[in-house]
Copies of this chain bind each other. A is one copy, B any other.
Amino acid sequence: MSTNEAIARRTPRAPGYSLDREYYCDERIHALDMERIAGRKWIVAGHVDQLRQRGDYFLFRIGDESIIVVRSDATTINAFYNVCRHRGSLICTEPAGRVNRLTCAYHAWSYGLDGALLSARLMPADFDRRDNGLHRCHVRVFHGFIFVNLADGDPIDFDASFGELEPYLDFHGFATAKIAHRAAYPTAANWKLVVENFVECYHCTPAHPEFSSMHPAEALVAFGAGPSSGPPEAVESYLPKLQAWEQRAAALGRPIGTIDDGAESSHLRLLLQRTIRDGFESETEDGSFASSLMGKRRGPDQGRMYLSFSPFTHLVATNDFAVLFQFTPRGAMRTDVDLTWLVDGDAQGYDVPKMVWGWDRTTLQDKRITENNQAGILSRRYRPGRYSEHERRVETFQAWYLRELESGGG
């Protein structure tokens, strides 16, 4: 049975219900997910603060791929497949480091930081080094975030996809932000379960006490899964408070706006700004700052921004720090979940334990939840279940996913 047949044979999905079991555990569908979706979207591989000096590199691992992301000069970051053009060996074997050249440890083929093959001993006379540079991976740096795209040919237009995010990213100063902390939460679940978990807040109250303590309950219900994602009465109740905050925040310099991509979009972006708990100035245990104000803020404004670049990459930003979430498929039931805490480029003496308290605990909870979700779905008695009114964003994600899968991505 071909992979296309595998898809065609699926029962049509009833709107308002979770996906059939195969989508969460079948190896063939996972291969399609990698080829058609993860392999064609712009995905954040890291932040420029990981690559301060010329020759600094890190590896970004996605599926069976290892991508070398490397700074080749003060203004250029390149991305290459970590596969020597000679016999296919990995070139870089450490997760990160600093190099002058990219030299394969096997036969010493040596590439420049621009990927050009510089030396290869004893090759036949008709061998042309110019045909043997490293395979490039599309890369784009945008406000400090390093996006890669594994497409074989021309990738989706970057500026058309993300250009309008400019003022929001600029306001937070991400281009010059510093990394305060990084942590990994590898999760034994299909990447879609990780995403579905992240894009709804129906589970926040039962599962996330720390998270819930930092947010107004009514905001979680009304906006927890996207703008006006909650039931109408909850939205109606919270909306006036939100609008009042928007006026105050705009007065302090914050650009106000919302982006809420639908299923037909290329990256399913979401931009949502709302308030945190009354009296809180940061998403910390006691609501006080863990660092100094980020970016171009003229003062604290009780706000938080939630920005999804795509289902694979999300940002949450409060007054004094931001968290980058990377969800990277590695296998049919294995997903890398990596968090990066960012602070203002000029921040000094920030308090890392205070800053990570909320999302470290919340992500450990999500890891457990998501792994139990995967385990339960393996039962032959699992049947797609009905979504609540609070899971509209999950439905949108699924509609987007199925459309991408069937259309072949792009």
Contacts and interface: CB of A to CB of B under 8 A. Distances in A.
B379 A206 contact: no
Contact of A381 (B81, B221, B231, B381): B81
A88 B386 contact: no
A247 interface: no
Nearest to A131: B386
A207 interface: yes
Nearest to A110: B206
A337 to B, nearest CB: 17
Given A89-B376, A382-B88, A108 B389 contact: no
Nearest to A92: B372
A106 B367 CA distance: 11
A403 interface: no
A372 B107 contact: no
Interface stretch (A47-55, A115-123, A177-185, A340-348): A115-123
Stoichiometry, as copies per complex, reads: 3
A137 to B, nearest CB: 8
B385 A106 contact: no
A363 to B, nearest CB: 15
Contact of A65 (B64, B123, B381, B383): B381
Interface string A230-250: 110000000000000000000
Interface in A282-301: none
A373 B89 CA distance: 4
A380 B390 CA distance: 39
A388 interface: yes
B385 A88 contact: yes
Interface in A201-236: 202-203, 205-207, 221, 230-231
B207 A105 contact: yes
A135 B380 CA distance: 11
Interface of A: 16, 18, 21, 64-66, 81-91, 93, 105-108, 120-124, 127, 132, 135, 196, 202-203, 205-207, 221, 230-231, 369, 372-373, 375-383, 385-386, 388-390
